[in-house]
């Protein structure tokens, strides 16, 4: 579950106000789809925001027609043009194993099928699919085999991680499907996937990741 309650509240407030980056907005939307824990809180924030708008006098928009024309004439964004990993082989799964479905909030970024994505092996038992930079943040999916650990690392910036399938543990506790984990430069952790089920996560990062353990530092030159 989310350990930083204040940080999560701020994240949910940003979602309700529509002030988050697009990938972070999509991540929180997916969290609300997967977990009912914060739905009431967000609904209350949205209700308060709507009530506040009713008390605000309307302001004329300058050159409204030109602005609307520019919006509707802009070419659609092709997310396939974003950077993707080159290894088209998906993570190994047991015969008949099912993987997490993609929440509706993430489909514009991830697509409709996790299995068909071009996964790239980072380490034995750890694969990643990158979606490139969107709205100033990088987003990706991580697939960690059951019982495997990510290398020890910290962050030059911030990272939001949403669990789509399975779960993992780190120094702050355990995160299950639908939970959101927050990490920054004050955290040096080594997430460990639960036994019995592969862990699949959607991550949004602002800034770069730095491997800190001896094994991670050895692999660092190969993890681009």
Domains, the chain, with CATH or none: 1-58+82-224 (2.60.120.10)
Torsion of CA 127, 85, 220, 170, to 10 degrees: -40
How many other CB atoms sit within 10 Å of the CB of residue 171?
10
DSSP assignment letter at 149: B
Please name every residue paired with 144 in a beta bridge, in sequence order, or none if there are none. Answer: 126, 199
> So what's the pLDDT on residue 72?
40
CA distances (Å), 67 to each of 18, 63, 73, 76, 77, in order?
20, 6, 10, 16, 18
CA distance 95 to 6: 42
pLDDT of residue 28: 96
Which residue in this structure is represented by tokens 């499907």? 177
Looking at residue 221, its pLDDT comes to 39
Q: Supply the pLDDT for residue 77.
A: 39
- For residue 87, the model assigns a pLDDT of 36
**pLDDT attached to residue 61:** 43
pLDDT at 207: 66
- Residues of the chain under the 70 pLDDT cut: 1-6, 50-98, 153-157, 185-189, 207-224
| pLDDT at site 185 | 52
């Amino acid at each position: 579950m989310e350990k930083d309650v204040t940080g999560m509240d701020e994240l949910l407030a940003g979602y309700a106000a529509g002030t988050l980056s697009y990938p972070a907005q999509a991540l929180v939307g997916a969290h609300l789809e997967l977990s009912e824990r914060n739905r009431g809180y967000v609904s209350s924030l949205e209700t308060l925001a709507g009530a506040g708008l009713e008390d605000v006098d309307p302001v004329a928009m300058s050159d409204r027609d030109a602005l609307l024309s520019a919006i509707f004439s802009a070419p659609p964004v092709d997310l396939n043009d974003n950077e993707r990993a080159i290894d088209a082989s998906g993570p190994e799964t047991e015969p008949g194993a099912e993987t997490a479905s993609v929440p509706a909030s993430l489909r514009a970024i991830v697509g409709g099928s996790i299995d068909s994505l071009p996964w790239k092996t980072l380490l034995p038992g750890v694969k990643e699919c990158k979606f490139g930079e969107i709205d100033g943040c990088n987003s990706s999916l991580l697939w960690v085999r059951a019982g495997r650990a990510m290398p020890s690392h910290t962050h030059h910036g911030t990272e939001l991680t949403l669990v789509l399938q399975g779960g993992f543990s780190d120094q702050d506790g355990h995160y299950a499907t639908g939970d959101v984990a927050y990490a920054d430069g004050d955290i040096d952790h080594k997430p460990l996937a639960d036994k019995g089920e592969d862990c699949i996560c959607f991550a949004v990062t602002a800034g770069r990741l730095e491997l800190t353990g001896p094994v991670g530092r050895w692999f660092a030159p190969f993890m681009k």
